[in-house]
Structure 1
């Protein structure tokens, strides 16, 4: 899981750097690229929250007597809602559709990274 998350975060950083370059080069796309960057940042934060939640659930299953607690889904939704509120409040700075699209990118990046990791693991010649 750590290798998949590391490669997904690396991909998100590359995407954010591409958005930063486009923000500097294309002035008419500044709101779109900034919206994408804010959405990608929120998406990566949600991925870290989900990873932490999965680790907590794994620990809870190992320990007897502990029960589920916390606001895992609520905090992830609140992060996306914060991005939407910022884009709604400052439309001259952030593009709302770009921010919402950026906030939904990380699950797909993790999926692709997991598939690539699985294919590399299967073709490693072991087994």
Structure 2
């Protein structure tokens, strides 16, 4: 079960870094007066689907439900840290 949670958390971390990179590119494009193509939801969804597929494909190593719960870990941690920093 722990391996599934680690797999989901790793996919969540990759998605968070990818989203941050896309937002930096988008803000640079807006400041330069260029158009940009969005924030890459399809790529982030594909990473999450790939993680769940790997857990489904190898059930002896990963648990699917813990992988799915791991997918939201980084986003929840970011939300909680944001709320804490605003209150300070």
* TM-score bracket, shorter-length normalisation: over 0.9
Q: Where do 5+ consecutive residues of structure 2 fail to align? A: none
Q: Secondary structure at the match of 2:19?
A: helix
TM-score (norm 1): 0.65
Counterparts of 1:70 and 1:86, CA distance in 2: 27
Counterparts of 1:91 and 1:103, CA distance in 2: 17
Q: Kindly name which structure, 1 or 2, has the bigger radius of gyration based on alpha carbons.
A: 1
- Give the root-mean-square deviation of aligned CA atoms: 1.3
**Out of 30, 44, 56, which is 1:88 matched to?**
56
Say how many residue pairs are matched: 88
Structure number with higher relative contact order (C-alpha < 8 Å, ≥ 6 residues apart): 2
Quote the residue 2:23 is aligned against.
Answer: 54
